[in-house]
Structure 1
Amino acid sequence: MGEVVNVLVAFAVIVFIFRWATSSNDTTERSAADTLGFRPKPVTQDMINTISNMFPDIPVDNVRYDLLRTGSVEMTTNKILERGFLDAPPPAYYALFPRETNPTPARAQPSAVTTKSIPKESLISRYHLEERIVTEKPVPEEMVGGKAIWEDSPEKREASLRERKAMMILAARQRMLSQQEKA
């Protein structure tokens, strides 16, 4: 019986010494997982910018905090779409990610490609309808939208869809031009 007690005491001393030797000397510094209460996922600035550009009214700190939790742009986007907001980060979050002194959000910083350098492409040029504008006849309203006839082959269905898109674009152009003439 006495030997069992000696073995248990020796085992406890060995465990205590092992834990003491492997623990960090600085106990004041806590890890991000201890501070936040969960293991943060890796988050890039591109992920934050993507969501901030889609939802400019959501604060950047809320976006970063949710991305740290989920690690996914899609999940954070779905949460915003379903709920309309993101939870505010707890005060411990600001110990790891202090607020910027400059209130300019990250999404407002200019990127390498600005919107001024990207030429705006019209629907007419995107769908190659330039030649149809020259010989433009009024598009009857009953041809725009409505139900399509189900075609036998995928190629015919694709051509039918392409033609319906073209009719809708041309009809929208006609309405826009008539509104501009009225004004």
Structure 2
Amino acid sequence: MSEVVNAIVAVAVIFFIFRWATSGSSSSSDERRSAAAALGFRPKPVTQEMVNHVHAVFPNIPPDNIRFDLLRTGSIELTSNKILERGFLEAPPPAYYTIYPRAEASAQQLPDGSNTTSVSSPSSSAKQPSLIERYNLHDRVDGVNFTPDVIEVGGKAKWEDTTEKREASLRERKAQMILAARQRMLAQTE
């Protein structure tokens, strides 16, 4: 009989120790409960990548609206379908901003390691380089005046023997297409 009592006491002690050890991590569950109470639903896990993905497809939708809907659905597809069906997403309630600060105010980490303010704010968007700058065609733009009939843009290329020659041929065709497009644009503006 005493062995049974010792076993019951040992199980009870182990149970209370286990409960005490796991109660320290309840702060995250308390945060979830308070978020659920404030928002009126249990928020699903949402990453910044999910918000950026939807925002890249629908740049006119504010990131806070996207995050709020993703917290509800937990799915990029459902949020995207809702935008396609309605054309907009509801604005989050004021309680949302107490839990999740505004996207414009929070600093975000870019993939290159630099910090910037919100991706959606127009003042923070850097000027995109032109195709001339991206493909280093400055020397070809300045000295030569192309005419569209001289350049055969996008024509059939001859199959080269080596990969280096094929890459060089592709780069040259790409440069010719960019320069011809630039020339057409300049002709339209004149």
For this structure pair, what is the TM-score category when the shorter chain's length is used for normalisation? 0.5 to 0.7
Q: Map of 1:12-51 to 2, 5 A cutoff?
A: 12-24=8-20, 31=29, 47=49, 50-51=52-53
Q: Which runs of 5+ in 1 are unaligned?
A: 70-75, 87-97
Q: 1:82-113 deviations in whole A, cap 9, x for unaligned?
A: 97358xxxxxxxxxxx6115998415767279
CA distance in 1, matches of 2:29, 2:98: 24
Q: 1:133-180 deviations in whole A, cap 9, x for unaligned?
A: 221221338721243222111111111011111111011101211221
Query: Structure 1 length normalisation: TM-score?
Result: 0.54
**2:96 corresponds to which residue?**
99
**1:126 corresponds to which residue?**
134
Q: Which runs of 5+ in 2 are unaligned?
A: 37-41, 83-94, 108-115
CA distance in 1, matches of 2:70, 2:147: 48
Q: CA deviation at 1:127?
A: 2.1
Code of the aligned partner of 2:181: A
Contact 2:159 2:166 in 1 (8 A): yes
CA distance in 1, matches of 2:176, 2:102: 42
Code of the aligned partner of 2:66: P
Larger Rg: 1
Code of the aligned partner of 2:97: E
Contact 2:70 2:79 in 1 (8 A): no
RMSD: 4.7
Code of the aligned partner of 2:135: Y
Query: Structure 2 length normalisation: TM-score?
Result: 0.53
CA distance in 2, matches of 1:61, 1:145: 46
**1:59 corresponds to which residue?**
66
Code of the aligned partner of 1:31: S
What is the number of residues matched between the two proteins? 150
CA distance in 1, matches of 2:28, 2:135: 57
CA distance in 1, matches of 2:54, 2:185: 32
Q: Flag the 1:30–1:83 CA change in 2: closer, same or farther, 3 A.
A: closer
Q: Flag the 1:65–1:102 CA change in 2: closer, same or farther, 3 A.
A: closer
Q: Flag the 1:127–1:30 CA change in 2: closer, same or farther, 3 A.
A: closer
Percent identity over the alignment is 34
CA distance in 1, matches of 2:4, 2:28: 32
SS at match of 1:139: coil
**2:87 corresponds to which residue?**
none
SS at match of 2:97: coil
* Counterpart selection for 1:161 from 167, 170, 174: 170
